[in-house]
């Protein structure tokens, strides 16, 4: 990708399916369009896989599995390291591609490329640290050997909101562990994953180890692969509703599963917090990715003594954010992914306003073209408002007031989700006490971002199963085998 024009970065990407190391057109030459959410225009067409293409991709992953499992861990790590370097070297082109298909502002897209690349660097290092064990049996006679092996061929499904990082967060540990895969990006943002397939091939990944399926029929193509039984694991990132359905499908052949699902993050600010830090954290936790993140602060609970100042300062910051196409200089609020997203955000805000919430700024969509919704702050949000229980997935910050710590913790935990909670306080005892009581897989303590490739990312309750990243990330792709030795 040497041309950095918009047309140039789109043209440089393969538009076919990537199966067995080759670019292959879909059965019948079918394709579907990819749109720019800031204009509604078609960027290009990509291959539209059928169930038959899906089977070919799984055949390829199954055929490549034994040789790939036998590849030296150092060699697997070096492939990941080369792919990391290629991602960093091409960050500008890849960021532009991502902004075009997904809408996020260019600096954020570039940040995602770096974040995505870091998963490859981290797992390049983890590939050579897969450990085992040797122990004396309690009776003193036998010995236990504990050996860790790749789970086998995997199915990976990723969402549209982080089109590159959600892919590398799965492919990094899969490759490090020695697993082959069939990966399916979201139909709305397939281009980043197609670009990644080219980079992995260039980095020396053997044919068939990673196979990419783009399709407009995700259920029709993936269900037969899940039910086939040859793939031994499904790793999914997406909504809880789809995750639930996939778990049922996985039950039939008892697949291992990792589920990174939806969130409904509470953001607690106590009277004793550093207010500057809380406002900064709130802007990051709310506005990263235009609010379209599973980790997005969905509900702000602020203690009575500071709620007025917090609301005023957050409103000042939110109302000053430049909105526009993500490619334009200085833009912070890009478009939402599609019209349905704008409609959903609009209806959640109207519902809150109808129930008594006050709109301090924003509160409306922008006329097209493009799927824009204004950065919004709401106060006096009642508990009954729908946006306290549903993911907003947009640039809307609803604020409610609390008096006591017990009240704040109860409100924070009053959700089926448990991905992340944010907590701002300068009292160290309260910080630890409340962190322990919050029902979430991750806590942002005096900070508005928790994602880090070196840390275990994941949720509890209906936010998912398993962890990605950190030293535990590779475990999701390894089986433990115990060999009982008689001496
Ligand atoms: P989604 O509708 O659940 O889709 C996620 C992926 O699943 C897409 O690739 C989608 O493909 C595919 N899919 C949909 N229905 C399917 C089916 N029946 N069988 C197989 N695949 C199917 O979620 P989304 O709207 O793309 O993403 C937003 C959601 O992801 C939010 O809930 C967010 O919280 C969650 N998320 C969670 C994390 C985390 O780490 N916990 C990270 C990012 C996002 P098509 O779109 O092409 O149909």
Closest residue by Cα to atom 16, ligand 1, is 219
Ligand 1 neighbours (beta carbon < 6 A): 157-162, 166, 184, 186-187, 218-219, 222, 237-239, 242, 245, 260-263, 294, 391, 419, 459, 464
Which atom belonging to ligand 1 lies closest to the Cα atom of 159? 26
Looking at residue 95, its pLDDT comes to: 98
Tokens of 106: 């260019």
CA dihedral sign, ordered 89, 93, 94, 99: positive
Looking at residue 368, its pLDDT comes to: 83
Confidence of residue 213 (pLDDT cuts 50, 70, 90): very high
Inter-residue contact 200 to 44 (CB < 8 Å): no
Looking at residue 2, its pLDDT comes to: 47
- What Å distances lie between residue 83 and 80, 87, 218, 248, 339, CA to CA? 5, 6, 27, 35, 35
Nearest Cα to Cα of residue 179 among 196, 157, 159, 156: 156
pLDDT for residue 257 is more than 80 = yes
What residues are annotated to the active site?
260, 294
Identify the helix (H) or strand (E) that includes residue 227. Answer: helix 218-228
What is the value of pTM for the model shown? 0.98
User: For 316-344, what is the mean pLDDT?
Assistant: 98
Looking at residue 1, its pLDDT comes to: 43
Nearest Cα to Cα of residue 255 among 225, 281, 211, 280: 225
Q: What is the pLDDT of residues 359-416, one digit of tens each?
A: 999 999 999 899 999 999 999 999 999 999 999 999 999 999 999 999 999 999 999 9
Rounded to the nearest 10 degrees, how much is the dihedral formed by the CA atoms of 9, 11, 12, 14? Answer: 130
> What's the CA gap between 453 and 448, in Å, rounded?
16
Coil, helix or strand for 202? helix
Q: How far is the CA of 406 from the centre of ligand 1 (A)?
A: 34
Q: How far is the CA of 242 from the centre of ligand 1 (A)?
A: 7
User: For 411-426, what is the mean pLDDT?
Assistant: 98
Q: What is the DSSP letter of 373?
A: B
pLDDT for residue 326 is more than 50 = yes
Inter-residue contact 242 to 226 (CB < 8 Å): no
Q: What is the DSSP letter of 468?
A: B
Percent of the chain with pLDDT over 70: 99
Which atom belonging to ligand 1 lies closest to the Cα atom of 419? 41
Closest residue by Cα to atom 19, ligand 1, is 219
Residue pointed to by tokens 């809150």: 352
User: For 57-81, what is the mean pLDDT?
Assistant: 98
Domains and CATH numbers, the chain: 6-261 (3.40.605.10), 265-458 (3.40.309.10)
CA 302 to chain centre: 28
Percent of the chain with pLDDT over 90: 99
Coil, helix or strand for 20? coil
The phi, psi pair for 426, rounded to 5°, reads: -100, 5
Query: Candidates 156, 214, 239, 295: which one to mutate for ligand 1, based on the most atoms within 8 Å of Cβ?
Result: 239
Q: How many residues does this entry show for the chain?
A: 487
Closest residue by Cα to atom 23, ligand 1, is 238
Residue-averaged pLDDT of the chain = 97
> What's the CA gap between 158 and 185, in Å, rounded?
5
Looking at residue 3, its pLDDT comes to: 56
Tokens of 350: 């109207």
Tokens of 458: 């994941």
């Amino acid at each position: 990708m040497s041309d950095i024009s918009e047309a140039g970065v789109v043209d440089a990407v393969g538009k076919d399916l990537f199966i067995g190391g080759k670019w292959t057109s879909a059965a019948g030459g079918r394709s579907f369009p990819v749109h720019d959410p800031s204009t509604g225009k078609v960027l290009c067409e990509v291959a539209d896989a059928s169930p038959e293409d899906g089977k070919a991709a799984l055949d390829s992953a199954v055929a490549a599995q034994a040789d790939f499992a036998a590849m030296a861990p150092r060699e697997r790590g070096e492939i990941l390291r080369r792919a990391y370097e290629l991602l960093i070297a091409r960050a500008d082109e890849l960021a532009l591609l991502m902004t075009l298909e997904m809408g996020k502002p260019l600096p954020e897209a570039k940040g995602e490329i770096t974040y995505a690349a870091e998963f490859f660097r981290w797992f390049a290092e983890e590939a050579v640290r897969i450990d085992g064990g040797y122990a004396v049996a309690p009776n003193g006679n036998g010995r236990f050997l504990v050996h860790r092996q790749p789970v086998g061929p995997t199915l990976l499904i990723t969402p549209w909101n982080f089109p590159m990082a959600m892919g590398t967060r799965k492919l990094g540990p899969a490759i490090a562990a020695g697993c082959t895969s069939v990966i399916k990006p979201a139909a709305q943002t397939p281009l980043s994953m197609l670009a990644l397939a080219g980079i992995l091939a260039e980095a020396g990944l053997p044919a068939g180890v990673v196979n990419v399926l783009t399709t407009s029929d995700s259920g029709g193509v993936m269900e037969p692969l899940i039910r086939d039984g040859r793939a031994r694991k499904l790793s999914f990132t997406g909504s809880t509703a789809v995750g639930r359905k996939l778990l049922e499908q996985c039950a039939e052949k008892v697949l291992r599963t990792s589920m990174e699902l939806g969130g409904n993050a509470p953001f607690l600010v106590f009277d004793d917090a550093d207010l500057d830090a809380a406002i900064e954290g709130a802007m990051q936790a709310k506005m990263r990715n235009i609010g379209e993140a599973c980790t997005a602060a969905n509900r702000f609970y602020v203690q009575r003594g500071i709620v007025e100042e917090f609301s005023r300062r957050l409103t000042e910051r939110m109302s000053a954010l430049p909105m526009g196409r993500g490619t334009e200089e200085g833009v912070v609020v890009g478009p939402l992914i599609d019209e349905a997203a704008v409609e959903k955000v609009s209806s959640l805000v109207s519902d809150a306003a109808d129930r008594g919430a006050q709109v301090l700024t924003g509160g409306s969509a922008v006329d097209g073209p493009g799927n824009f919704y204004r950065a919004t702050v709401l106060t006096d949000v009642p508990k009954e408002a729908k946006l306290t229980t549903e993911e907003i997935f947009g640039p809307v910050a609803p604020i409610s007031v609390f008096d006591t710590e017990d009240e704040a913790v109860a409100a924070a935990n009053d959700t089926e989700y448990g991905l992340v909670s944010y907590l701002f306080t300068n009292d160290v005892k309260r910080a630890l006490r409340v962190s322990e009581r919050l029902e979430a897989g991750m806590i942002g303590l005096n900070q508005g971002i928790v994602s880090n490739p070196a840390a275990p990312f994941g949720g509890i309750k209906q936010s998912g199963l398993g962890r990605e990243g950190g030293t535990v990330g590779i475990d999701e792709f390894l089986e433990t085998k115990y060999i009982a030795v008689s001496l």
